[in-house]
Amino acid sequence: MKCPYCNSPDTKVTDSRDTDDGTSIRRRRQCLACGRRFTTYETVEETQLRVIKKDGSRELFDRTKIRNGIIRACEKRNITSAQIEEVVNRIEKKIRNGLEPEVSTETIGRLVMDELKDLDQVAYVRFASVYREFKDIGSFMSELEALMNSHKGKDTPLSGRKDSHEH
C-alpha cells in the first residue's frame, strides 16, 4: 500500500479491526519512509454477475426475479416465505459458487426446477410449464409422467397416495 503522503510503497499495518457493521476491515498503517500514519479499509469486491437471456442479451443478475417466479409457482400451496427464501438463497449460492461472470437463464431455470421438485411437485409442474414452454399436451404429459415415475412409492401430491399409517 502506497503512503498517501510521500508515495513510498513501504508501509506496515499497525492495527486491524472489523468495522461496526462487519462489512469491512479498518487497517491503521504507518509509512516506513516518512513515519506518518493513515487508515485504509478492506472490503469484499462482489463481481457483477450477468444473466444471458434466451435472445442473447445480457442483464445484471436479480435474485428478485427468481423469488417472484417461485412465488408464482407456489401460489396457494402450503409453502412458507422462509422456505422460498431458503430456496432462493441456495440457488444464488450455487450460481455464485460457479465462479463464472455470466450464467444463462437455462441454467437458472434448471436450478429452480431441481429445488422445486424436492419442495413441492405441483409448484414444480407449474414452473416447468412456463420454463419449458410446452408446445402441446403430449410434451406436458411426458414431463408429468417423468415426475410421477421419479416419485413412485413416495407420498406426494401427484401420486394420489394416502398416508399408510391410517387405520
- In tens, the pLDDT along 51-73 reads 999 899 999 999 999 999 999 99
Q: Is residue 77 domain-shared with residue 138, that is, in the same domain?
A: yes
Q: Is residue 80 domain-shared with residue 58, that is, in the same domain?
A: yes
Question: Does residue 167 lie in a domain region?
Answer: no
Q: What is the pLDDT of residues 79-129, one digit of tens each?
A: 999 999 999 999 999 998 887 899 999 999 999 989 998 899 889 888 877
Q: What is the largest CA-CA distance in the chain?
A: 86
Residue 116, domain extent? 50-150
Question: Does residue 162 lie in a domain region?
Answer: no
- State mean pLDDT over 32-56: 90
Between 141 and 6, the higher pLDDT residue: 6
- What is the phi-psi region of residue 26: left when phi exceeds 0, alpha when psi lies from -120 to 50, beta otherwise? beta
Q: Is residue 124 domain-shared with residue 67, that is, in the same domain?
A: yes
Between 72 and 141, the higher pLDDT residue: 72
- pLDDT for the residue 161: 37
What 3-state class would DSSP assign to 22? coil
Question: Does residue 158 lie in a domain region?
Answer: no
Whole-number Å distance between alpha carbons of 130 and 85: 21
- pLDDT for the residue 116: 92
Question: Does residue 143 lie in a domain region?
Answer: yes
- pLDDT for the residue 19: 82
Question: Does residue 124 lie in a domain region?
Answer: yes
Distances (CA, A) of 64 to 79, 83, 103, 111, 129: 18, 15, 16, 15, 20
Q: Is residue 54 domain-shared with residue 39, that is, in the same domain?
A: no
- pLDDT for the residue 99: 79
- pLDDT for the residue 36: 96
Q: How many domains does the chain have?
A: 2
How many Cβ atoms from other residues are within 10 Å of residue 116's Cβ?
24
Q: Is residue 56 domain-shared with residue 136, that is, in the same domain?
A: yes
- pLDDT for the residue 151: 61
Lookup result for grid cell 413412485: 152
Q: Is residue 136 domain-shared with residue 87, that is, in the same domain?
A: yes
Q: Is residue 19 domain-shared with residue 58, that is, in the same domain?
A: no
Distances (CA, A) of 81 to 71, 85, 112, 122: 8, 6, 16, 17
- pLDDT for the residue 128: 79
Q: Is residue 78 domain-shared with residue 124, that is, in the same domain?
A: yes
Answer whether residue 4 shows pLDDT above 90: yes
Could you tell me the pLDDT band of residue 160, with boundaries at 50, 70 and 90? Answer: very low
Q: Is residue 133 domain-shared with residue 57, that is, in the same domain?
A: yes
Question: Dihedral, CA atoms, 94, 98, 104, 110, nearest 10 degrees?
Answer: -40
Q: Is residue 82 domain-shared with residue 15, that is, in the same domain?
A: no
